[in-house]
Amino acid sequence: MRIAAVGSALAPHYYDQDALIAAFREHWAERHFNLERLEALHRNVLVGGRHLALPIERYRGLDTWGKSNDAWIEVAQEVGERAVRTALDRAGLTVADVDCLITVTVTGVATPSLDARLMNRLGLPPRVKRVPIFGLGCVAGTAGIARAADYVRAYPDQVAVLLSVELCSLTLQREDLSIPNLIASGLFGDGAAAAVVVGAERPAAGPAIVASRSVFYPDTERVMGWDISEAGFRIVLSAEVPEVVRRYLRRDVDAFLADHGLGRSDIAVWVSHPGGPKVLEAVQAALELPAEALESAWRSLREVGNLSSTSVLLVLEETLAARPEAGSAGVMLAMGPGFCSELVLLRW
């Protein structure tokens, strides 16, 4: 089983963080008692700019969840199609080669689901098995790779495509002045990424998927997620996230690697979900990694922000482009709502 290629499609409207801060200051000027605090929160996430699903002036008109979700359905199809076509082209495949399409998201809902809407748009064969997954949040990029690997393990002559679409800006709660919402409004961006995973009987040059592991942490439902109401998705984001990383990640990674006769010193490539500055610092500290080990994740955070499940696939895309040395081992990892972690062992 191999990851044959990854392709991405960032949302079409890019704004640097200064422009976004100015827009938020204008919007919240009448209600927020401390605009300097708002600006400090946005600058502390170390994001230089973000891609948005819509031109910034259109967000004022999204005064209901229905309008926001309609925009999600429209833009998700556009960026989703671009990401899938790019990934297939890089893998030397066409839509006719696809046997399974897995879609992951946590920022919009649709029935028929996004994958169904892409069947006609992409011209996928009617036989394609569709697996829409909602609710895994930031962990879904890595979990999706693992589930795609499970599929092609069962069908080694087939091709699975994982598509992540996250349009986080369309979930913004403009009446919510809580610290988690203010942080989220400065951290999250919009985009899509797709990965092509092929079975052992299909030739491919990408890294082999050696193994995967899921770890669920009991009684951690309020660490991260959504509270869902008539207003849409209201973020749950606990300050405990970095502490959960420090508490569990080293134990889980060490146990996972030990089962395959490896230790952290054997891992040459780390493909980590960016999360945010405090999360990346916690990952680095927990795994005792040198600063350069997570440079791709830091760069992704600085350039486009946190794109939930899409982010780790952007880091994977950059990693594949760097062409790690043949024979080197890698770990792809993410943590997210549940609270839980997903680990994938790779071999180039």
Q: How far is CA 72 from the centre of its chain?
A: 16
Q: Provide Rg for the chain, Cα atoms.
A: 19
138 is catalytic: yes
Q: What is the pLDDT of residue 201?
A: 97
Q: pLDDT tier at 30 (50, 70, 90 boundaries)?
A: low
Q: What is the pLDDT of residue 239?
A: 87
Asked if the model's pLDDT at residue 25 lies above 70, the reply is: yes
What does the alpha-carbon distance between residue 153 and residue 243 come to, in Å, rounded to a whole number?
35
Q: What single-letter amino acid sits at 184?
A: A
What does the alpha-carbon distance between residue 188 and residue 226 come to, in Å, rounded to a whole number?
14
Q: pLDDT tier at 133 (50, 70, 90 boundaries)?
A: very high
Q: pLDDT tier at 312 (50, 70, 90 boundaries)?
A: very high
What DSSP character marks residue 325? Answer: P
Asked if the model's pLDDT at residue 177 lies above 80, the reply is: no
100, 138, 168, 340: the catalytic one is 138
What does the alpha-carbon distance between residue 231 and residue 172 come to, in Å, rounded to a whole number?
10
Which of 38-52, 66-80, 156-170, 250-264 is predicted least confidently? Answer: 38-52
Asked if the model's pLDDT at residue 16 lies above 80, the reply is: yes
Over residues 181-190, mean pLDDT: 90
* Phi, psi values for residue 288, rounded to 5°: 55, 50
Q: What is the pLDDT of residue 41?
A: 84
Q: How high is the mean pLDDT of the chain?
A: 94
DSSP class per residue in 25-52: HHHHTTT-S-HHHHHHHHHHTT--EEEE
Q: 65 in the Ramachandran plot: left (φ > 0), alpha (ψ -120 to 50) or beta?
A: alpha
Asked if the model's pLDDT at residue 231 lies above 80, the reply is: yes
Over residues 52-71, mean pLDDT: 95
Q: pLDDT tier at 279 (50, 70, 90 boundaries)?
A: very high
Q: What is the pLDDT of residue 24?
A: 85
Q: Are the beta carbons of 232 and 171 closer than 8 angstroms?
A: yes
Instruction: Decide which of 319 and 172 is more confident.
Output: 319
Asked if the model's pLDDT at residue 182 lies above 90, the reply is: no
Q: What does each C-alpha distance from 307 to 11, 31, 83, 142 come to in angstroms?
A: 11, 28, 14, 13
Buried b (16+ CB within 10 A) or exposed e, 92-111: ebebebbbbbbbbbbbbbbe
The predicted-structure confidence for 68-115, as pLDDT tens digits, reads as follows 999 999 999 999 999 999 999 999 999 999 999 999 999 999 999 999
Asked if the model's pLDDT at residue 31 lies above 70, the reply is: no
Instruction: Decide which of 40 and 217 is more confident.
Output: 217
What DSSP character marks residue 298? Answer: H
Instruction: Decide which of 236 and 156 is more confident.
Output: 156
Over residues 114-133, mean pLDDT: 98
What does the alpha-carbon distance between residue 245 and residue 224 come to, in Å, rounded to a whole number?
13
Kindly report the pTM of this predicted structure.
0.95
Instruction: Decide which of 29 and 273 is more confident.
Output: 273
Over residues 32-50, mean pLDDT: 83
Residue spans of the domains in the chain: they are 2-198, 208-347
Q: What is the pLDDT of residue 265?
A: 97
CATH tag for 208-347 (out of 1.10.1380.10, 2.30.30.790, 3.40.47.10, 1.20.1260.10): 3.40.47.10
Q: What is the pLDDT of residue 32?
A: 61
> Could you tell me what percent of the chain has a pLDDT over 90?
82
Over residues 239-251, mean pLDDT: 94
Same fold, 2-198 and 208-347: yes
What does the alpha-carbon distance between residue 148 and residue 283 come to, in Å, rounded to a whole number?
25
Q: Are the beta carbons of 227 and 314 closer than 8 angstroms?
A: no
Q: What is the CATH number of domain 2-198?
A: 3.40.47.10
